[in-house]
Structure 1
Amino acid sequence: MRGKTAVVLGGSVAGLCAAGVLARHFDEVIVLERDRLPPDAQHRRGVPQSKHPHFLLNSGRRAIGEIFPGFEEALIAAGGMRLMPSMDAAYCENDGWAPRKSGSMTMVYSSRVLIERVLRDKVRELPAVEIREGVTVTGLRSSGGGTARGRVEGVEYRTGDESGYLAAELVVDALGRGSSVVGWLSAAGWPAPLEKTLDAKVTYTSRWYDLPPADRRPESWWWKHLVITPTQDTGDHPEEHEFLSNFFPIEGDRAIVCMGSWGVRMPREADAFEAAVDRVRAPTFGQAARACTPTSEVHLTRATGNRWRRFDLLDRPPLGLVCVGDSICAFNPFYAQGMSSAARSALILAEMLPGRDVLDPPFFREFLARQKKSLDVPWMLAMARDQAYDFATGSEVVAPWRRRLAARLSWPIFNAITAASREDAHVERTFAQVFNLDLSLKEMATDPRFWFGIVRYKVRQRLGRTVVPGGFDDQQDPPGTDFTGYTRAGRSPSAGTDLVDA
């Protein structure tokens, strides 16, 4: 694509990843960003969700690493932390605290603003890329809208009081949930794509804290990350027991305390937030927050519905345009799929662009087909949980009997998987791959070895032959004992172990 121009709409994670790919194949890549970008890791108006915790799943972490070699090392050098959740996080599950032991998964913890700053630094190293700040995209120019040869040809924009136009061989929409691109295309003659939607009324609220100095932290703080899952008790309990709660570590000896729920009103004032923290079902959570110093106001988000704009179903999709990130598929943020899905879409471009002199109709159809296959993986995960709620709304609401079945089975299946993962390496690895979008829910569900491991564990549990203990009292601090290689006889792994990987 030498001598050609690509324009990226939006300079957040999705847009930066796309720019990193396009810089290898276009002479000029122009990123149009409405905000003035901060020089350091700071919040900005265009990314309000940056005030909440963000997981970079392993599939996204690898994808970004392929686009920007050295990204992970740069993120860690800037303060990010590479941790093993099964060793460095304390999980309060249905029956109490889960045992601490080594696992197959590692993650890099940091704030969203640090991830974006490191990505911006990487993009600015690319001579083909120009980031234009303070630019509002006002429309698209196109020809033949809705016909087989209909093509987006450029972008209209405004900077202050001045208007401008950029011609482009490729336009990438990375404007997020609020993108106006579908409306502009409809005005030009294209039919609006089918939208799949499901809103499970998730609300979440966060506050930032400074940790106490290391020498003043309680001895029980072996953990760096706390996760309190919603109660499965159907009796009377405080509504805070319904919260999914995170004490999430980030760079600079800080943490984001976040609570969220499905269909429950969440606190947005500091006093109400602190009171709710104290009523989360595991007292360790409130005690940890009280030991820290709050450094921000309370941030609340309600725009959490799942939405997928199915451009792949159009008979004549627009040529010259691809959509990435939330502009094509936005997920319930609880599932931490957004950044990774955006990076995976950019990686599809990286795989398809080499050797292309012309971006013809087959190119765009193939991209949409491959992107659809990639998005199917996180979408199925989001639907599996959010379709279980009676108050969910949208096109993907299922029949009452399916909601009841999902609600009845989802927690027991999750409990069985997490329990079996303590003693079966295949179950643990498979579930970690699904969580990280490396394996689909369908692939997990059709894996006989996976289900054999769960059934074997349940039989051992019934016979009293399980090895790794679990269900530690959630009214006490999570135990720091390392149960890696633990056996009933107390033998070391080198001497033999009952933990299986058959």
Structure 2
Amino acid sequence: MGHGKTAIVLGGSVAGLCAAGVLAAHFDEVVVLERDLLPADAEHRRGVPQSKHPHFLLNSGRTAIGAIFPGFEDAMLAAGGRLLMPSMDAAYCENDGWAPRKQSTMTMVYSSRIMIERVLRDKVRAHANIRVVEGASVTGLVTEGGGRPDGRVTGVAWRDADGADHVSAADFVVDALGRGTSVPDWLVAAGWDAPPERTLDAKVTYTSRWYQLPPADQRPDGWWWKHLVITPTQDTGEHPDEHDYLSNFFPIEDDKAIVCMGSWGLDMARKTDAFEASARRVRAATFGAAMDACTPLSEVHLTRSTGNKWRRYDELATPPVGLVAIGDSICAFNPFYAQGMSSAARSALVLRDLLDARPAVDVAFHREFLAQQRKSLDVPWMLAMARDQAYDFATGTETVAPWRRKLAAKVSWPVFNAITAASREDTYVEETFTAVFNLDKSLKEMARDPRFLWGLVRYRLRQLLGRTTVPGGFDERQDPPGTDWTDPMRAAAERRTVEHAHA
């Protein structure tokens, strides 16, 4: 179809499936080698242990996957995904308590990771020239001229489910094997330099358990929300460890939820009783009460492999021709920031655009791809570094001087508080922050935007003068209030009426 006969994708998870969807338009045959035997429905599998935790598909990722697989969002909703507006359908407990509820520009499709993969597999199966080989373990690469300017990858060695060894020729190979990929080692053995690595591990641990929600008519009074988010306390005094957790009551398909708690540098519960006790000590009592109202569906799942790692193929003097890395194989993030799937889909779009623009997969193609991919990955990487560099116990190449750690730790939460507060009354601030959160705009762009900065200053002045119209927060010891503050004057009048009636 223009770029060669055969492309091989190593790995059939989100990154690999997105890459396969892109390659299908440019190669006669696309072969996906997947180690697991893939379930027909949305089920967990050994190769994706993190599927037991919540997964956010950011708007940029949702848009990218929709461009690769038209109809993806409709298919997600038909499969049980939930299209929600977080500012209206989620209750956020922030520094000042429960954030006021109001409409915004951001929507999200909520589902489990296993549902996302099932829908993507269905989309891939619709391509006649994509073939998924299950139970296939990749054992090496076939190369020519390793380390030379024209050195390239020409094939893949793999072992099938019956133990038989195969060598398949390829005009193009995509590494989507994830954090633990052996591809860099195979390239070094073939004569290339190892890609430099940028790393930062902030010792994040998170633990999750799946639950069935009670029937709608049996849920507690005031349970208007679909999603609960409890941010870490900013109180520096004595408090339970659980007050430092980032906690999510995350809605998925089939009226289920994933209760997830995570922390930077703290031990997390592994057993059921300890997990439930921790959830009840989270600083907003609504969180534990919601868990107690649900029926457990799983054991407790804990993950510690959460460090940020970026393999910088773009810095190699002679990158291998005929091979690119996508997803965690090139850049893995702290999962707290929900950037992995979206970053992988964005890289797949970079690949699509370059295949559309260039007739040959040559040295120039690879240098241009790596440059554009670096620019795309810079956006989420900068966001991850901004928070994770604040911890004294963080390790890796991207740790910073003590004064910078202290500065990051001191200003990161106040800046976040200022942005979320101003967003409630300034549409431009809200839209800009939403774009950064969804990776559609960089942190650097936001920090250099005069209109955005003026929005923060103006809100602070209005706050000091007592002229804000949306309240700053509500008592976290109570249930989150369901008042819609989209029209502040009407909401204030309704609240006064209720308060008068209860007086």
TM over 0.5: yes
Q: Deviations over 1:236-286 (max 9, x none)?
A: 000000000000000000000000000000001000000000000000000
Q: Is this contact kept in 1: 2:203–2:307, CA < 8 A?
A: yes
- Per-residue CA deviation, residues 320-348 of structure 1 (Å, 9 max, x unaligned), is 00000000000000000000000000001
Describe how 1:73-88 pairs up with structure 2 within 5 A. 73-88=74-89
Task: Give the distance between the partners of 2:491 and 2:238, measured in 1 at CA.
Answer: 41
1:153 has 2:150 as partner:
no
1:208 to 199, 210, 229: 210
| Corresponding residue of 1:465 | 467
Q: 2:306 aligns with which of 292, 304, 307?
A: 304
User: Aligned residue for 1:431?
Assistant: 433
1:133 aligns with: 134
What corresponds to 2:178 in structure 1?
A: 176
Q: State the 1:218 CA deviation.
A: 1.4
Find the counterpart in structure 1 of residue 251 from structure 2: 249
Report the counterpart of residue 476 of structure 2 in structure 1. 474
Q: Quick check: 1:207–1:296 contact (8 Å CA) kept in 2?
A: yes
Deviation at 1:491, TM superposition (A): 8.3
Question: Deviation digits for residues 273-332 of structure 1, max 9, x if unmatched?
Answer: 000000000000000000000000000000000000000000100000000000000000
> Are the counterparts in 1 of residues 484 and 491 from structure 2 also a CA contact under 8 Å?
no
CA distance, structure 1, for counterparts of residue 490 and residue 131 of structure 2: 61
Deviation at 1:97, TM superposition (A): 0.2
Question: Does structure 1 residue 38 correspond to structure 2 residue 46?
Answer: no
Q: Tell me how far apart the structure 2 counterparts of residues 432 and 255 of structure 1 sit (CA, whole Å).
A: 24
Superposed CA offset, 1:458-491 (max 9, x none): 1111111111012200000000000002138968
**Counterpart selection for 1:167 from 169, 178, 194:** 169
Matches within 5 A, 1:22-421: 22-159=23-160, 160-354=162-356, 356-421=358-423
In the alignment, the residues of structure 2 paired with residue 19 and residue 336 of structure 1 have an alpha-carbon distance, to the nearest angstrom, of 22
Query: Is contact 2:173–2:322 with CA below 8 Å preserved after alignment?
Result: yes
Alpha-carbon contact 1:467-1:488 (below 8 Å) kept:
no
Q: How much has 1:355 moved relative to structure 2?
A: 5.5
| AA partner of residue 150 (structure 1) | G
For residue 356 of structure 2, give the secondary structure of its aligned residue in structure 1. Answer: coil
Q: TM-score, normalised by structure 1?
A: 0.97
**Equivalent residue for 1:445, pick from 439, 444, 447:** 447
Partner AA of 1:166 in structure 2: S
Matching residue of 1:495: none
Question: Aligned-pair distance for 1:219?
Answer: 2.3
Residue aligned with 2:489, SS? coil
Give the counterpart letter for 1:197 in structure 2: T
Shift of 1:350: 1.0
Query: Which stretch shifts more, 239-248 or 216-225?
Result: 216-225
Aligned to 1:12: 13
TM-score, normalising length from structure 2?
A: 0.97
Whole-angstrom CA distance in 1 between matches of 2:473 and 2:420 = 11
SS in 2 for 1:390: coil
Return 5+ residue gaps in structure 1 as ranges: 493-502
In structure 1, C-alpha distance between the alignment counterparts of 2:226 and 2:493, rounded to whole Å? 28
Q: Is the 8 A contact 2:485 2:491 kept in 1?
A: no
The one-letter amino acid paired with 2:55 is H
Tell me the percent identity.
74
- Whether the 8 Å contact between 1:312 and 1:369 is mirrored in structure 2 is yes
